[in-house]
Structure 1
């Protein structure tokens, strides 16, 4: 007892965890929160190597703060696991729109919208895949920022729950370590100051957790801190020594090294849709898109081969779910043995051209990117090719200054007589066009009757279509006149319904491809350039489009249906005046007398009054804003939004498959009606679709109407899976519709009453009120009779 009663400090047994129900000191909560956020940022720092900009850091910090806040609220109010999880989900959706998907939010990227909330929901699954498959560095669009947000939120929440609500607070360090591992796995192969950052995290984490677990013990903490730092320093020195003995050029392993990023051409716009942009200055004549060497003038250099037509654009196929004969994009691997067949060996040097489609020639056997005189291994690893179509693409797009050394087999060079005897290759099966304009079919039938074409081989049919467009059509680049661009179904109908078709290679190649597939030809559309004579500098004026038909053993034979550029339609005012009239000298204009000032106008003294216009305007604007706020809160338009939401949910959740499928069409029709499309009263689905197609050609409304009629009036009842698939098609159409509509028009459409049957509702209310009034009157009459 005498030893214990001396001057030695009293030692308190350290707590192994906070007892359930014990109050959490506020200062300890602040220290824990600051260290969790700070160490969490250091642990998540490897993500920065995979992202551009600093929004990833904002997402990590915001996620950590939300996780810490939810953990503190759960500890203070004793939330259970389900309540804590629900609060974390609410926090995620509350801040996610502004942090992860600001381009889908409103109010300067802060106010959540239905689109942003949908992206946040879907992104919880898809963001992880996109963060690994998209080429680094990742941008700030899409859903890739959900990854750092979720890592920070979950890490901060779990760490604070273990600190404040468990008997093993030291496990919070394990959680932060897992954040470091996960961030490194989703980062890039290069991460600066990795060792320094790891040592800092280890030192601060060990000292913090040691102090936190033994904060009630009176001892020499300075010695303990120094001992901990010494251990961390020795371990860091050993790690640095082992790292210097290993291969210095080796990179650390990350998940993206073991994931083959897929290439889906549907993620990119149709290359034919940009045709008109290449015909405008300065791209047309000034900018050098790329330069070719060792290629003969007139050689067709392709950008992309398109074999699918959805009624809006011709596009490149080959992605997931595409037809088998459309091929699939794979990594371009150079085969030295196959290069022996090469008939063309050239070089393409990129200038101002941008895009993912790489210029190529014929059947590409090998393509080697060269930059600064050396092979660019990074660009070579990102080259993909569709073996069936020969389309070459580079993930992330080509870089200016890169040269591609190409070895290829040139397309067959056949004379007209050889083409005429070739049959079409019936083994090729391409997806049929979604929409074929009736005007195009009628025009080709008239050409067949005029030229007395009675059919023949596939080569003869291709020659007939090519010659018909070249002879009966006229050329216009659309720059100097009002000829519209595009090659949608409405544009092709406009091309062929007039007596004199006028267009450029975009329309003629697209029209020949559509009608050729309709007639059973294995035909596809190609967009590219024709090598000019001279230095080999390719500009926008050299861009063209053509078709390719697979004939017998000859393979894909090119056909150019575009009329010559000098074959232009002469307008009535283009004819010169053969007898010009003599110029008549006009009499000089006599200026009028100045008007005298009115006598009753008050004359000022030339001095400005002391009136603050800005203050008056500010007061007026403030009053208007206050009134607008009150009107906005009390507005019945919120009921319109709720009605449309419940209506959509009722249609989508209908038990009967037919009702669910027709509900999808009604949803699409109501959305277009809100946007101003007014079909005739009592119009059928097809009639309504044709009325909408004239205004929105980006949406295959006619195809959706035909599909709905086929399911409703066809044999058998549709299944639930078919109804769900039709809803998915409608959602895609609505997404395209929103992209083509100005933001202010979309906002007005949300509150539009065009699709709300308010008149019938008023009639029902009036009828109910009238019946109620009659019942009351009858009851009053009965009471009066009883009193008598």
Structure 2
């Protein structure tokens, strides 16, 4: 025998479709499905804290494998398999997904079962809207549990009970997509995980398909590995060239988070309330321990100005340095870099903003000496601004133990050497009063300012407000409150600006942003000396400017409190005049928020109306696009296209030729030509010729009858030629049809066999209902057959 002769590969008879796999194959499939499923679900790690999510995924996959194995062994149908999966989910879900509601953390209760049922709908929304990292509260763990359960069940059903075992790889890839979509933006070794999943999955599925072939299938596996390695090298190279930062688009970036800072009033708008008695001197807002006196402690950082107030920003549409609020994660390794440690106890302070210092590395809340888990789960932080908030607001008596990294303060000479950080992107203010701009320009001219760095410009603005302004808290002598555009214009319109930290910090920030400084407003307090009791008199506001290689540097533009304006009537009168009772002057607050805007801005109202109309038009167009994409009429057009393809590809030439005539009559029906259902081809052709006399429809009908009813059978060439004639006739018919009818014809329902389709759906639903009833009543029938009749033997033993 010639040894160089190629070997003929003779495949063995494979297992019957739906037959139970061997124990060896089932064990290999189980190990690989669980391993690859965990690898595909690993993006959940970036969104969940701890490893509870991993337990949920593994338990869900083991449950799905068990249900699938029982289904293939006991020959269950699809409905019974689905019911078994639901029962298993309710049995183990209490201990895995909602242990806080289960009895002893394991046994199901009415509350835990209710949460599991509701969680099938609400868990997906909560996992996207709650700040990351997610904990174990609520029903968020239902997402990894259901992902593992459904993924393993579908993968093994395709492997063990279908003709398409390769679809198991598609299921595992779908698990990767779901886990990535519900994960976080941070991606660790995303390319490596994807390549490992694809490589191992392809080798495994290739081995399964070649296990019954009497050949050297190892060579095929090696070749498959080579292809995977080559594709992986190309993908890794493209990924490294395309992007150096492993960030991805996730669903939570396109969902509005539950904590929206814009839903709360501006922290700066409450500034005047801190200066009134008894809050000013008699009410304890906080008690500070461990922080040095003079340390700046912030409530919130505000970088968005709408013409009325400064407010906290943050979210998917915010600027780069506005950041996004996420759940505060206490990292023990990061705490090693903390150089400031202290405790702040909440007194009579109310609000959602939590005091913080520098870069907050960890914040541990406690009440009555015990850790407050509820408060810890409600803490969110904006990493870019350092603002910390507690969803629902802080509670009196809560102590926050803070560990933070605070940079060393810069000297004045060092600040002047730093230029501004041009990489910062902040939202531009809606309005900057011209009076403020003119006043700052006059100060520049008077002082002959010629600074070249951002640090010098920030120092100039701070010193100008401190030197030319006067302080007043507005309590003893009335000074208007607020920091809207009209108040900023009033502050700088007069020759002697008078205000407090609210006005000066706002004015410096607006002027600095107009001059190109990356600047924002901060409200907080300075730690007082002594016992560390913080009252309203200690609350202040300042600005922060981002300087290159120095970070955010604080600047306090408010004049000293003893720098007050002395009015002419402040001096004692040597010859007092008789007292005349004057009516009291009642300060009036603006009736509407628009009173704080500049006067005479009629074009702004017109612009707002045009913007509103543009928004309404844009929303309408978006809704129309969505309705157009989701319209069921596309299904009608797809049905007609598939019907035409089926008619044209049929093997029998006679049937193909008859199908061409039916295609012609259906297209005529879509264009409005109605014929009787029992009409012959010639009768239908004469009816169409009355409207389209220039097209030889009658000749096509005679040709179809001659080939169908005449002697002999048409050849394939004659069938193709007849289809070409039909296409030419249809082109002429379309040219003779109005344009609006041509557009509507592909979506017409005139030639769609709805009645037959509905009958098929009803018949299938009836068969499924009968099978489900038999599956549910089978145990009862079996028990009934085994029970003895009255006065007799069981049915199996009778006779």
TM interval, shorter chain, is 0.3 to 0.5
Taking structure 2 as the reference length, the TM-score comes to 0.44
Larger radius of gyration: 2
